[in-house]
Each structure stands twice: as structure tokens, then as C-alpha cells.
């Protein structure tokens, strides 16, 4: 049994070596593993748009493959292994739950390069890449703070993980910077995706005087609910403007192509090294798209100017001094949170009248 | 809590409960004949997808609903052919139907993602909708909600006041006796299964044409399973089923509203309330063990094969 496993492992290694050396002149084979369907109009859709643009950029120098609807867990390892075995030189695994399967496969295929989105475990042939979603949230907060007439912003939150908590803070900080009286109402729906429930949450918030709906869930249902009632909302992950032509303020879009193009180039040049990549406005990995032309001019210009201030590095939303909502200092004066600290935010900033679910 | 907010919660609760009620009603009738169809989620998704496609391509919401009902029936036809004619295991066949429907609806509905339509809008019934509190709640809803009221009343009447209802129950209690009396057991079961499919399709179209007018993969998010549980907790009684569906809807909305009001209870705990509240109430009202035993169809999930008997 043991020998069999060892032999199998060797065979895999040899075959992948063989694939890497003997076809060196052939196109670079790049594989993508998606958690959802490419037609989800959100997360996986945007990864696939990135793949297509990368393919176009390199033409016949690359050959891309994707596998969609891959469940997180044991099945993912099978899919990733299959891609590695079939001669792929670079594999992108695009969901948090693919973390351990990616690392396991990477161990068995040391000559294949792996890139895992949103994870935190790396090795000598595994990099991670993350979005600075809080940058888009800060702009959302500024726009919402200016546009709200009831001074109440609604936030549909998924799960109490650092990314979501950090983004709630970011929205509130942005809104507060332009509107000192603003309040934020947070509703946790305990799901990333349940259009019915997301829509119910949006309606519940609007019933309570919320006039700007911001969502940290993946379906366009909250925007559609807002459109029905003439209340404004902000699109998440992809351009959601056509779901709510009147109510859509703008979308914060994930644009993966620049990262995919850069990584493929590095692998081609053999200059790739494992890293923990955080992409945001500065790299155009995160973009503000489809600003509603009917928005008042001052709000439109605040959106673009806040975007460019963050993009240029002139401004970082998480710069001290900052207190949490119990009055404890969480960021010292003049200090800006590092990426590692941003990945571990577990407090609400001063002024948010709520507590984080335990 | 002021009265207006309570009214808004109840209106939202009615909308949230309606798809559950529609699909559970179909399954209740189906189970009354002894057929357990766990394929609800798959049939509902096919209904949601077909309904949206129909409405999008024809521009007619009613054609969409019709197509959804037909899609649900087609799925249940498949279930019936396998489990009733070929006597496959009902539980396994139903599970397979859910998996099949989930996959098929995503496959066929791939091009529909991202399209938008104008869904069903509330229609106020003159005079009745002016009644304080109850008016906007019951008489200012969309057509599918009105249809659900009619279907609940009609199903109750058929099941309890007509010969058809008696036949359905006889088949579910003891198919062999029913067979001896000359009732065509398989035919009755098949018709009930088709009715279940039609209701699941209708419930799906409520999701994609009224509740959240759009189509996305897996958009029913487990409502078919909740409906299956509701049927059991309602101890196969239509009135209790309606109560349970609306109660579930009410608790689901309440937990979102309470969070918005800043009630300091863990949202995880609040998220459990629809389930807990529904189970507690349903268990309480149907706690009579004898009544429970009597209301459970005796032949539930058992295949009918006169040659074996």
C-alpha cells in the first residue's frame, strides 16, 4: 500500500516534470477552479472575465482551462490534481475553501505554480491573492453619507468574519467623514447567497427608515428590492447597474485580469515567487464602475475624488487615531494598519451602535 | 413596536410564507396518497427557471407561470414513472430528482442570469383593501398570493368534503384495501404526484416572478426542504400547514427587523427563531400522539405492488 502510494507520487512528479520540460515551447497551460458557475454574475463570473482578458492579452502563448461549480472540500482536491496531472503549469483556485486542497496538490506537484484567492496559507509554490474590498466600501460610505436623507444607512452582512467587519467599519468611516449624524443599521443574514432572504433583509431595513442599502452578499436581490421602492443601493463584485437602472449608485467591481496577466508573465519569465498579494484601487483590481449619471454632481465628484485619494495612497481608511465602539484605542495616532492587521479586524469603530455577533 | 411596523412585518411574512405554503400544499396532498417525494427543491428550481424564461421570452407573466407549472409536472412525471411504475425507492429517487433539478435548472438557465423583468405587482381589491390593518395585509397582494389563498381553501374542501379526498386518503392509509375496492392506486398516486409537481413549479415561479423577479442558480436556497419539514410538523393538516408557513415567514422577517431595531441578541440565535418557533408551535398544537398517529399516512414512502401482497 505504502509503496503503491510512493510509486504513484513519483509517477505524478515524473509526469509533471516531463510535461514541464518536454513541452517548453508549447503554450503555457493555465487552469482555473471556480466555486460557482461562470454565470453567477458575481464572484466566479468576474474571475472568468479575468481569465478571458488574460487569454486575449497573451493570445496563443497561453492555453486556459476552467472547471466551474467545484464544491469546496475533497472534490476540489481531485479537480486540482487532475489539472496538475494534465500538464497545467499554473493553477488559480478561486475560493477560500480551496485552501487546503490547493496546498495538498501543491505538495505533490512541486513544479506546478499555484495561486489561491482569499486564503492565508502559502508554500514555496503557492501564493495567495486578496482584494482590498474596504477601499470600495469607504467610497460607498462617502456616497451613502452624502445621499442619505434619513441619515440611516443599511448594511446587509453575511458572516461575522474580519473581512465583513472591516468593511462595515469602512462604510461607516466613509459616511461619517461627510455626515456626522449618520447611523448604520446592520442586519446579518448568515448566508452569502439567498436572493429571497437578501431581499427580505433589504425590505426590513427600508421599513425602518434606511434609504441607502449596501450589501455584503452576492446576489442582486437587495438592489432589485431597492429599485422597487425607489431607494438607492450599491452593486457588489460585478457591475449590477442593469438590475436597478434608477437605484444603482455605482458598483464596486472585482477586476482580476491585471493580476492574472502579471502572474502569467512572471511564470513565463521564471521570475514568479510566492507572495501574499493584496490588490485594490492602486492596481485597478478593484474598480468603481457605472456611476449613475443621475446622481447629484457633488456626490459624483466625491466618489471619484475619494477613489483617487485612496488609489494614490494619499489616504488610507484605517489610519489612527481610532477608537473602537467601547472607547478602547485600536489604532494609535499616525499609525496605519498593516495588511496582516487588516486581515484580523474584530472590532467596530467608535460610533457604530451595535455589537459583533459572538 | 408600533402598529405600522407590525403591519409591514406581517405583509412581508405573508410574502415569505407563500412559496413555502404553495410547495408544501402540493407535497401534503402527495404524501396523503402515500408518496414521499423529496425532489421538491429540484422541482421548485425547475419551476423558477422555466417561469422566468417564459415570462422573459414571451413578455407575459401568466405564460411564465404556466410554463413553471408544466416544468414542475414534467419533473414529477419522471419521479412518478420511476417510483410508481418501476417501484424504485422513493427516498432515493426523490433525492436524485433534487440533484437533477438543481443541475438541469442551472444548465438550462445559464443564459437567463442577469436578465431582468417586471414581476407581479400588488393589486389592491377595491373596498376590502381599505379595511384598517387587515386590508393592506390580505387584499393588497399580488395575484399569486390570492391564488395561494384559493388553492388552500380548495384543497381543504376537496380533501375533507369530497369523494376525491376520501379516495386520496384511502390510498394513503391502505393501498391494498383501496385496490380491493377497485380504486386504481397507481393512477391516484400518479395524479397526486403530478399535483405536487405543479404546486412546486408554481412555488418556484412565485420566487422568480414575484418575490425576487430574477433567475439565479439555486435561488430557492433550501425552501423545498423547509416545506417538507412543514408537512410533517403540520401533521398532514392543511390548516396547520398554512399556519406553519406563515409563522415561519413571520419569524424569518421578525429576526431581520429586530436586528435593524438594534435588539442585542446574537443574530445566530435570531436566525434560528423561525425554525425553533415553528417547531415549538407545531409540536404543541399537534402534540396529541394518537391524532398524530392517525394523521400520518400509513403507507407513506412504501411502494405499492399488488403482486407482492
C-alpha to C-alpha distance for A106 and A115, rounded to whole angstroms: 10
> Domain with B48 in it: what CATH number?
1.10.3470
Share of chain A above pLDDT 70, in %: 92
What pLDDT is attached to residue B132? 86
Please check whether residues A123 and A139 belong to one and the same domain.
no
Identify the closest residue of chain A to B272 by CA–CA distance.
A190
Closest Cβ opposite residue A358 in set B217, B218, B266: B266
For residue A358, is pLDDT > 90? no
Lowest mean pLDDT among A285-299, B8-22, B63-77, B250-264: B250-264
Over residues B27-35, the mean pLDDT reads 96
A283 assigned to some structural domain: no
Distance CA A324, CA A341 (A): 15
Q: Do A89 and A194 belong to one domain?
A: no
pLDDT tens digits, residue range B163-217? 999 999 999 999 999 999 999 999 999 999 999 999 999 999 999 999 999 998 8
How many domains does the structure of chain A reveal? 2
- On whether any CB of chain A is under 8 Å from the CB of B106, the answer is yes
- Considering the domain boundaries, does residue B49 fall inside one? yes
> How does DSSP classify residue A71?
P
Q: Is the pLDDT of residue B289 over 90?
A: no
| Averaged confidence pLDDT in chain B | 91
What are the tens digits of pLDDT across the range B237-277? 999 999 999 999 999 999 898 888 888 777 778 778 888 88
Domain membership of residue A191 (yes or no) is yes
Given pLDDT bands bounded at 50, 70 and 90, which one contains residue A1? very low
A184: β partners: A153
Same domain flag for A185 and A315: yes
Q: Assess whether A115 and A174 both reside in one domain.
A: no
The whole-number pLDDT of residue B163 equals: 95
Kindly state whether B203 is in contact with chain A, defined as any CB-CB distance less than 8 angstroms: no
For residue A253, pLDDT over 50 is answered with yes
What CATH number does residue A330 fall under?
A: 3.40.50.2300
Confidence of residue A5 (pLDDT cuts 50, 70, 90): very low
Phi, psi angles (nearest 5°) of residue B124? -80, 130
Same domain, A161 and A127: no
Average pLDDT over residues A141-146: 98
**What secondary structure does DSSP assign to A185-246, as a single string?**
EEEE-S-S--HHHHHHHHHHHHHTT--EEEE-SSSSHHHHHHHHTT-EEEEEES--GGG-TT
**Contact call for A203 and B12, based on CB within 8 A:** yes
The residue-averaged pLDDT of A234-239 equals 91
A–B CB contacts, 8 A cutoff, strictly below: 110
Say if residue A9's pLDDT is above 70: no
Within-domain flag for A11:
yes
What confidence score (pLDDT) does residue A149 get?
A: 97
> What's the pLDDT score for residue A287?
96
Shared domain for A110 and A150, answered yes or no, is: no
Can you tell me the mean pLDDT for B157-161?
A: 95
pLDDT range class, residue A203, cuts 50, 70, 90: very high
- Residue A193 has a pLDDT of 79
Comparing B158 with B266, which gets the higher pLDDT? Answer: B158
A181 in any annotated domain: yes
**pLDDT at position A8 over 60:** no
Residue B176 structural domain: 3-114+141-295
B129 belongs to a structural domain: no
Residue A281 lies in a domain: no
> For residue A174, is it within any domain?
yes
Same domain, yes or no: A42 and A85: yes
A351 part of a folded domain: no
Query: Is the CB of A39 less than 8 angstroms away from the CB of B113?
Result: yes
Do A89 and A30 lie in a common domain? Answer: yes
DSSP state of A70: P
Domain that holds residue A95: 2-131
Q: How many CB atoms lie within 10 A of CB A311?
A: 18
DSSP string, B1-43: --HHHHHHHHHHHHHHHHHHHHHHHHHHHHHHTT---TTHHHH
The answer to whether B2 faces chain A, any CB pair under 8 Å, is no
> Within this chain, do residues A58 and A194 fall inside the same structural domain, yes or no?
no
State yes or no: pLDDT of A17 exceeds 60: no
Do residues A179 and A114 share a domain?
A: no
* A272: in domain: no
The number of domains in chain B is: 1
**Tens-place pLDDT, residues B92-112:** 999 999 999 999 998 999 888
C-alpha distance from B246 to closest chain A C-alpha (Å): 14
Position A4 pLDDT exceeds 60:
no
Q: Which residues pair with A157 in a beta bridge?
A: A188
Task: Name the nearest CA neighbour of A96 among A66, A67, A131, A52.
Answer: A131
- Inter-chain touch A196–B260, beta carbons under 8 Å: no
Asked whether residue B256 is domain-assigned, the answer is yes
Report CB contact under 8 Å: B207, A242: no
Residue B126: inside a domain, yes or no? Answer: no
pLDDT at position B1: 57
Q: Quick one: CA dihedral B39, B40, B43, B46, positive or negative?
A: negative
Distance CA B236, CA B241 (A): 7
Structure confidence by residue, pLDDT tens digits, A40-79 = 677 888 999 999 999 999 999 999 999 988 888 788 999 9
DSSP sequence for A293-337: TTS-HHHHHHHHHHHHHHHTTS--SSBSSEEBTTS-EEE-TT-B-
Q: Is A182 found in the same domain as A305?
A: yes
Residue B205 in domain: yes
Same domain, A335 and A215: yes
Amino acid at each position: 500500500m505504502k509503496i503503491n502510494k510512493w510509486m504513484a507520487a513519483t509517477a505524478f512528479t515524473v509526469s509533471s516534470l516531463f510535461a514541464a520540460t518536454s513541452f517548453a515551447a508549447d503554450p503555457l497551460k493555465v487552469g482555473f477552479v471556480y466555486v460557482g458557475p461562470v454565470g453567477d454574475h458575481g464572484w466566479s463570473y468576474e474571475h472568468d472575465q479575468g481569465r478571458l482578458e488574460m487569454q486575449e492579452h497573451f493570445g496563443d502563448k497561453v492555453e486556459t482551462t476552467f472547471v466551474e461549480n467545484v464544491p469546496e472540500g475533497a472534490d476540489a482536491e481531485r479537480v486540482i490534481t487532475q489539472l496538475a496531472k494534465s500538464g497545467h503549469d499554473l493553477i488559480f483556485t478561486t475560493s477560500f475553501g480551496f485552501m487546503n486542497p490547493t496546498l495538498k496538490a501543491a505538495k505533490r506537484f512541486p513544479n506546478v505554480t499555484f495561486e489561491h484567492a482569499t486564503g492565508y496559507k502559502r508554500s514555496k509554490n503557492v501564493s495567495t491573492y486578496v482584494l482590498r474590498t474596504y477601499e470600495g466600501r469607504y467610497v460607498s460610505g462617502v456616497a451613502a453619507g452624502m445621499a442619505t436623507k434619513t441619515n440611516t444607512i443599511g448594511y446587509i452582512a453575511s458572516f461575522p468574519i474580519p473581512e465583513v467587519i472591516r468593511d462595515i467599519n469602512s462604510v461607516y468611516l466613509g459616511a461619517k467623514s461627510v455626515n456626522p449624524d449618520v447611523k448604520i443599521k446592520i442586519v446579518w443574514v448568515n448566508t452569502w447567497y439567498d436572493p429571497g432572504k437578501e431581499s427580505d433583509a433589504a425590505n426590513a431595513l427600508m421599513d425602518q427608515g434606511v434609504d441607502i442599502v449596501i450589501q455584503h452578499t452576492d446576489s442582486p436581490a437587495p438592489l432589485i428590492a431597492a429599485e422597487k421602492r425607489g431607494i438607492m443601493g450599491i452593486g457588489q463584485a460585478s457591475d449590477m447597474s442593469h438590475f436597478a437602472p434608477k437605484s444603482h449608485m455605482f458598483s464596486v467591481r472585482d477586476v482580476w485580469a491585471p493580476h492574472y496577466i502579471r502572474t502569467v508573465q512572471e511564470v513565463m519569465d521564471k521570475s514568479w515567487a510566492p507572495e501574499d498579494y493584496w490588490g485594490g484601487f492602486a492596481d485597478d483590481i478593484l474598480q468603481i464602475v457605472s456611476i449613475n449619471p443621475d446622481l447629484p454632481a457633488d456626490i459624483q465628484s466625491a466618489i471619484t475624488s475619494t477613489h483617487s485619494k485612496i488609489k494614490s495612497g494619499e489616504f488610507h481608511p484605517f489610519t489612527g487615531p481610532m477608537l473602537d465602539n467601547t472607547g478602547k484605542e485600536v489604532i494609535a495616532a499616525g499609525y496605519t494598519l498593516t495588511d496582516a492587521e487588516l486581515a484580523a479586524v474584530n472590532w467596530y469603530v467608535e460610533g457604530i451602535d451595535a455589537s459583533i455577533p459572538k | 413596536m408600533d402598529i405600522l411596523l407590525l403591519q409591514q412585518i406581517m405583509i412581508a411574512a405573508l410574502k415569505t410564507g407563500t412559496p413555502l405554503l404553495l410547495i408544501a400544499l402540493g407535497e401534503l396532498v402527495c404524501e396523503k396518497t402515500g408518496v414521499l417525494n423529496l425532489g421538491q427543491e429540484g422541482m421548485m428550481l425547475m419551476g423558477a427557471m422555466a417561469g422566468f424564461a417564459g415570462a422573459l421570452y414571451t413578455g407575459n407573466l401568466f405564460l411564465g407561470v404556466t410554463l413553471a407549472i408544466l416544468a414542475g409536472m414534467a419533473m414529477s412525471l419522471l419521479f412518478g414513472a420511476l417510483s410508481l411504475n418501476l417501484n424504485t425507492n422513493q427516498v432515493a429517487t426523490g433525492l436524485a430528482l433534487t440533484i437533477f433539478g438543481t443541475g438541469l435548472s442551472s444548465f438550462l438557465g445559464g443564459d437567463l442570469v442577469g436578465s431582468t423583468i417586471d414581476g407581479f405587482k400588488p393589486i389592491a381589491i377595491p373596498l376590502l383593501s381599505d379595511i384598517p390593518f387587515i386590508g393592506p395585509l390580505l387584499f393588497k397582494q399580488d395575484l399569486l398570493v390570492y391564488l395561494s389563498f384559493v388553492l388552500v381553501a380548495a384543497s381543504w374542501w376537496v380533501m375533507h368534503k369530497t369523494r376525491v379526498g376520501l379516495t386520496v386518503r384511502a390510498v394513503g392509509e391502505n393501498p391494498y384495501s383501496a385496490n380491493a375496492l377497485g380504486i386504481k392506486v397507481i393512477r391516484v398516486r400518479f395524479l397526486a404526484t403530478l399535483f405536487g409537481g405543479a404546486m412546486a413549479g408554481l412555488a418556484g415561479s412565485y420566487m422568480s416572478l414575484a418575490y425576487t423577479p430574477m433567475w439565479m442558480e439555486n435561488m430557492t436556497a433550501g425552501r423545498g426542504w423547509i416545506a417538507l419539514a412543514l408537512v410533517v410538523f403540520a401533521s398532514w393538516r392543511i390548516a396547520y400547514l398554512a399556519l406553519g408557513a406563515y409563522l415561519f415567514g413571520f419569524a424569518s422577517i421578525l429576526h431581520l427587523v429586530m436586528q435593524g431595531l438594534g435588539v442585542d441578541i446574537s443574530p445566530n440565535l435570531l436566525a434560528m427563531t423561525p425554525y425553533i418557533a415553528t417547531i415549538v408551535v407545531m409540536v404543541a398544537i399537534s402534540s396529541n400522539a394518537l391524532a398524530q398517529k392517525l394523521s400520518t399516512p400509513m403507507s407513506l414512502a412504501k411502494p405499492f405492488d399488488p403482486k407482492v401482497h
